[in-house]
A and B are shown apart, each in its own frame.
Chain A
Amino acid sequence: MPELLFELFSEEIPSRMQQNAATDLKRLVTGNLRSAGLNFEDAATHVTPCRLALVIDGLPARQAAIQEERRGPRADAPEKAIQGFLGSLGIARGQVEERQTPKGVFLFAVIERAGSETRTILPDILLEAVRELPWQKSMRWGRNDLRWVRPLHHVLAVFDGTALEGALELGGQTLDFTNETRGHRHLAPGKFAVSSFVDYQTKLRESFVVLDRAERTRIIIDGATALAKAVGLRLRKDPSLLDEVVGLIEWPVPLMGRIDNNFMEVPPESLVSAMRNHQKYFALETKDDALAPNFITVSNMVSEPKRDATIVAGNEKVLRARLSDAKFFWDQDRTKPLSSRVPDLAFITFYDRLGTLADKVARVEGLAEALASFVPHSAPDTVRLAAHLAKADLTTEMVGEFPELQGIMGRYYARHFGAPEEICTAIAEHYSPLGPADICPTAPTSVVVALADKIDTLVGFFAINERPTGSRDPFALRRAAFGVIRLVIENQLHFPLRTLLAQAYNNFAIDDALSRSETTTNLLEFLADRLKVHLREEGQRHDLISAVFALDDEGDLNRLIARVAALAAFLGSGDGQDLMVAYRRAANIVRIEEKKDQRRYDGPLDVALFEQFEEKHLHAALDAASSEIAPLIATDDFAASMSVLAELRQPMDTFFDQVKVNVTDAALRENRLRFLTSIVETMNQVADFSKVEG
């Protein structure tokens, strides 16, 4: 079956856009093929810095024949109309059939159109995909008006061995479809023709291009690992850097260089940032996980000793300049104690209406002190000092150059100036957790400052009504909320969130802010939502979450979580399941009768109207349960209140077995319906069982 090979050859595509482009190209072309009725067996894409390629295997030589049905005029229409219909399709009267329809007898023609040759349809399909391919950022060049990620140079389009007829109009320049491409930019720049994907891949390899991304990745990992091993080191894993580097080369050749020893006194995080961000080098580590004085760079040139030596020497030279900067920052930053930098935070805006970073630090200090009483083993003075120093490294040269080192550098500088270790750790950890994969702080001082910082941010933005909407969350408030949740849950903290939010609010003085109660209510709702998402991701049943989910006045997150767990355990037991059946039965009867009678049955019970033993028995059990549950809920003993409910199971079962609710005596019926309502309500005090599914 014929094969289509398509390649868009351009100037270097940014690494981070390559894989999306490949996916999009495949999606667009295969979508167009399907709409044209062209089936295929397999579609695969390949992408390198200079080429975006697609190969589709097993296409038919032509489209399947298409059957079309056309309705003509009524069978008894004037001859002229009928002839007109036949004429328009070029068929005779004998080729149409008469068919009964609800509107009478009509003429129908079934025409079969032969499918077009695939070769003639493909060019438009490909061109449409090119025009529709979305780029994150695109540009124009020369006098053309087509937008593409970078200038396009050739379009290779080969079907069944030969080039397709077609051309891509750039809006000035025209690129004819050809069967030609080029190899490596510097090592094999000449054009060559290809007839199939296998031919293409083979000739590319001969021209120093490894087409397959996975293979390029493997060459880098294997090569770098071997180089490291040869000198007794290990390659430090860095998947996102690897992803980027694979998109920068067509012929990967890992090479090892050395870091001058006099830079090794600079904190390893700074060295790695300098190597990684600016130079895209991989770090190596020793057996005991320390940073080794070597690096791996990946060259795009075939290995050749003299050239390799030139490339390594060049890279080492650049790295020296980079690391001199890092060392300069490290030396310079330590000439000024961290504490003396705090006033400089007044020159950095936190956010327009929320003041400077100095303002933020002052607020966080107070909040941290308040939080300390809820976090075991944290001391008010210590957390206040940690909060005071937490942001000071933002004024250092090192963090100015490498923003991702915020906190980490603060720890080094605080330690240098003799701060207690728990404070140094808190400075480094207070931005955490940054995401689900990040480690959540557990050291008491770190926990307090991390919480205070996040709560301050959340309250501030909620006070000026800057809430995340849809995918827009420019201040990363979802992440901050998620951080609060993880800190509270993972450290088993119990505190009145509402009070603390209110206290955080009082630290602000913003014109035209939302009121305190509005701010805290909005924020608690937001936190409850985030907690729901979090629990769902942890695999909790969403219906159980809904059943217990209303934050109480205080906003204790752990209490809420305990309820979900207790409910799940209860419903997993036999008693729980049976009780659920009884609950639904009661609720359903009330719902149906209320609907039928267009009224509610929720008034007080008349005990005198109880006739049967079973209802009296259940009533007594319900009364007992109610009075037992109230104090249990107050003391947050959710599991115990569930066991109390479990005791209702047997009386409820016998009640439904023996007592008829819809009796003819109206007063009796009403009393029994009210009784069912009170059963439902009593149970709902513990959890909203109506939300439980299944």
Chain B
Amino acid sequence: MAEREAPRSDFQSLIITLQRYWADRGCVVLQPYDMEVGAGTFHPATTLRSLGPDEIWNVAYVQPSRRPTDGRYGNNPNRLQHYFQFQVLMKPSPIDSQELYLGSLRAIGLDPVEHDIRFVEDDWESPTLGAWGLGWEVWCDGMEVSQFTYFQQVGGIECDPVPLEITYGLERLAMYIQGVDSIFDLDWDGVPKDKGGKLYRDIFHQAEQEFSAHNFEAANAGTLLKHFEDAEAECASLLGRDQPLPLPAYDQCMKASHLFNLLEARGVISVTERQAYISRVRTLARDCCEAWVEAGANWKEREAARDA
């Protein structure tokens, strides 16, 4: 096998290469979470596992992410309401975390010696998750290709040990590697067109049009609002049981968060209300994280008792 052969640059190969790279470095490779989320961070494998009983937790996965307000009906070459993030979480953060990351760029064909790769201050904060961390956005020749964050708090709880989160913006990376100026021109599968090869446009353009119309015009604001309140109530009731169920409760939290994003896209949330909604979701996230940490502590105790 020729080792110096350039890696395949089609979109799906990019994902496969990253999965292989991080699997080889000890990560559990998971599948996307089966719900609508705004970013890979929302996946319980990141949010909850940043906290809780695991002394070591290394994971990598691709996560389709939805940002309803970013929809442009498929007309903007750089903006989508549905896109893909590749997410890596390593807890505790490894000593050579930057080197590991640079290795992954090499793996997908961006050799740091052939480009100008920079770590530029960008502290990360998710008000809805009550989470924040310090780190950088990583620039390749002036383009932000990843977010690199040492989590300090999640759900308002101090992270100990501290996890490292790396989030790759896959479309942007692919556009750069393939040298195209529109997301929709990305080669998805590397198969020639006459053999049925697909571009990003062939797979997602109609969805961008339809979901933009849905998010901005068609979604029933009253129903969304009711669903938001249902999810909020359900989350609280799952946590209020004698035996709280943090994982199902967190599903409801994710739902509430996405419904809030939809409500915002529909333009029915005023600036003042916005803060109140964010704080409601944050409360859910915090309560889920607390219940998760507590459940983890109990689980650890049981394990210790069984071992003894």
Interface flags for A305-318 (1: CB within 8 Å of B; 0: not) read 00100110111011
Instruction: Tell me if A173 counts as interface (CB < 8 A to partner B).
Output: yes
Instruction: Tell me if A151 counts as interface (CB < 8 A to partner B).
Output: yes
CB-defined contacts of B136 to chain A, threshold 8 Å:
12
Count: A-B pairs, CB below 8 Å: 107
Which of A16, A143, A348 has a CB less than 8 Å from the CB of B271?
A348
Stretch in contact with the other chain, from B140-148, B234-242, B250-258: B140-148
Contact A318 B141 (CB under 8 A): yes
Contact B134 A314 (CB under 8 A): no
Which of chain B's residues has its CB closest to A352's CB? B272
In the bound assembly, the distance between CA atoms of A307 and B160 in angstroms comes to 41
Contact A317 B78 (CB under 8 A): no
In the bound assembly, the distance between CA atoms of A153 and B95 in angstroms comes to 8
Stretch in contact with the other chain, from B45-53, B108-116, B204-212: B108-116
CB-defined contacts of B118 to chain A, threshold 8 Å:
12, 248-249, 300
In the bound assembly, the distance between CA atoms of A12 and B136 in angstroms comes to 8
In the bound assembly, the distance between CA atoms of A11 and B118 in angstroms comes to 11
Instruction: Tell me if B270 counts as interface (CB < 8 A to partner A).
Output: yes
Contact A142 B95 (CB under 8 A): yes
Which of A139, A150, A297 has a CB less than 8 Å from the CB of B152?
A139
CB-defined contacts of B126 to chain A, threshold 8 Å:
none
Instruction: Tell me if B23 counts as interface (CB < 8 A to partner A).
Output: no
In the bound assembly, the distance between CA atoms of A225 and B112 in angstroms comes to 28
Interface flags for A466-499 (1: CB within 8 Å of B; 0: not) read 0000000000000000000000000000000000
In the bound assembly, the distance between CA atoms of A662 and B288 in angstroms comes to 88
Distance to closest chain A CB from B264 (angstroms)? 13
Instruction: Tell me if B154 counts as interface (CB < 8 A to partner A).
Output: no
In the bound assembly, the distance between CA atoms of A321 and B160 in angstroms comes to 39
CB-defined contacts of B176 to chain A, threshold 8 Å:
314, 317
In the bound assembly, the distance between CA atoms of A150 and B113 in angstroms comes to 24
Which of B92, B115, B119, B133 has a CB less than 8 Å from the CB of A314?
B115
Contact A141 B141 (CB under 8 A): no
Closest 3 CB pairs of A and B: A314-B141, A14-B121, A315-B142
Contact A317 B93 (CB under 8 A): no
CB-defined contacts of B112 to chain A, threshold 8 Å:
185-186
Which of A139, A299, A310, A315 has a CB less than 8 Å from the CB of B150?
A139
Which of chain B's residues has its CB closest to A253's CB? B116
Instruction: Tell me if B117 counts as interface (CB < 8 A to partner A).
Output: yes
Interface residues on A, range: 35 or more
Contact B141 A310 (CB under 8 A): yes
Q: A149-B134, A317-B143, A348-B271 are in contact. List 14 more A-B contacts (CB 8 A).
A: A140-B152, A141-B150, A150-B134, A173-B95, A249-B118, A301-B115, A311-B116, A311-B141, A314-B115, A315-B142, A318-B141, A318-B142, A324-B76, A324-B77
Distance to closest chain A CB from B198 (angstroms)? 23
In the bound assembly, the distance between CA atoms of A349 and B94 in angstroms comes to 44
Distance to closest chain A CB from B45 (angstroms)? 20
In the bound assembly, the distance between CA atoms of A11 and B135 in angstroms comes to 9
CB-defined contacts of B141 to chain A, threshold 8 Å:
310-311, 313-315, 317-318
Chain A positions 4-18 with a Cβ under 8 Å from a chain B Cβ: 11-12, 14-16
Instruction: Tell me if B181 counts as interface (CB < 8 A to partner A).
Output: yes
How many B residues have CB within 8 A of the partner chain? 40
In the bound assembly, the distance between CA atoms of A155 and B82 in angstroms comes to 45
Which of chain B's residues has its CB closest to A137's CB? B134
CB-defined contacts of B220 to chain A, threshold 8 Å:
none
Chain B positions 88-133 with a Cβ under 8 Å from a chain A Cβ: 92-95, 97-98, 102, 112-121, 123, 133
Which of chain B's residues has its CB closest to A49's CB? B119
Contact A320 B181 (CB under 8 A): yes
Which of A138, A142, A153, A328 has a CB less than 8 Å from the CB of B76?
A328
Contact A349 B92 (CB under 8 A): no
Contact A314 B98 (CB under 8 A): no
Which of chain A's residues has its CB closest to B92's CB? A142
In the bound assembly, the distance between CA atoms of A691 and B132 in angstroms comes to 55
Chain A positions 115-172 with a Cβ under 8 Å from a chain B Cβ: 137-143, 149-151, 153
In the bound assembly, the distance between CA atoms of A294 and B248 in angstroms comes to 54
Chain A positions 252-279 with a Cβ under 8 Å from a chain B Cβ: 279
Q: List 5 A-B contacts (CB under 8 A).
A: A12-B136, A142-B94, A142-B162, A279-B142, A310-B115
Instruction: Tell me if B161 counts as interface (CB < 8 A to partner A).
Output: yes
CB-defined contacts of B162 to chain A, threshold 8 Å:
139-143
Interface flags for A213-252 (1: CB within 8 Å of B; 0: not) read 0000000000000000000000000000000000011000
Instruction: Tell me if A397 counts as interface (CB < 8 A to partner B).
Output: no
CB-defined contacts of A141 to chain B, threshold 8 Å:
92-93, 150, 162, 164
Interface flags for A188-227 (1: CB within 8 Å of B; 0: not) read 0000000000000000000000000000000000000000
Instruction: Tell me if A593 counts as interface (CB < 8 A to partner B).
Output: no
In the bound assembly, the distance between CA atoms of A16 and B160 in angstroms comes to 28
CB-defined contacts of A15 to chain B, threshold 8 Å:
121
In the bound assembly, the distance between CA atoms of A507 and B98 in angstroms comes to 57
Distance to closest chain A CB from B64 (angstroms)? 22
Which of chain A's residues has its CB closest to B269's CB? A347
Contact A349 B272 (CB under 8 A): yes
Interface flags for B155-168 (1: CB within 8 Å of A; 0: not) read 00000111010000
Contact B116 A300 (CB under 8 A): yes
Contact B93 A151 (CB under 8 A): yes
In the bound assembly, the distance between CA atoms of A143 and B272 in angstroms comes to 40
CB-defined contacts of B135 to chain A, threshold 8 Å:
150
Which of chain B's residues has its CB closest to A16's CB? B121
CB-defined contacts of B119 to chain A, threshold 8 Å:
11-12, 49
Distance to closest chain B CB from A183 (angstroms)? 13
Chain B CB within 10 A, most for which of A139, A173, A185, A325? A139
Which of chain A's residues has its CB closest to B94's CB? A142
Contact B114 A307 (CB under 8 A): yes
Instruction: Tell me if A187 counts as interface (CB < 8 A to partner B).
Output: yes
CB-defined contacts of B117 to chain A, threshold 8 Å:
186
Chain A positions 386-400 with a Cβ under 8 Å from a chain B Cβ: none
CB-defined contacts of B115 to chain A, threshold 8 Å:
301, 307, 310-311, 314
Distance to closest chain A CB from B87 (angstroms)? 19
CB-defined contacts of A151 to chain B, threshold 8 Å:
93, 95, 97, 150
Given contacts A139-B134, A139-B152, contact A299 B116 (CB under 8 A): yes
Which of chain B's residues has its CB closest to A328's CB? B76
Interface flags for A334-356 (1: CB within 8 Å of B; 0: not) read 00000000000001110000000
Contact A317 B181 (CB under 8 A): yes
CB-defined contacts of B94 to chain A, threshold 8 Å:
142
In the bound assembly, the distance between CA atoms of A15 and B150 in angstroms comes to 18
Chain B CB within 10 A, most for which of A137, A153, A317, A320? A317
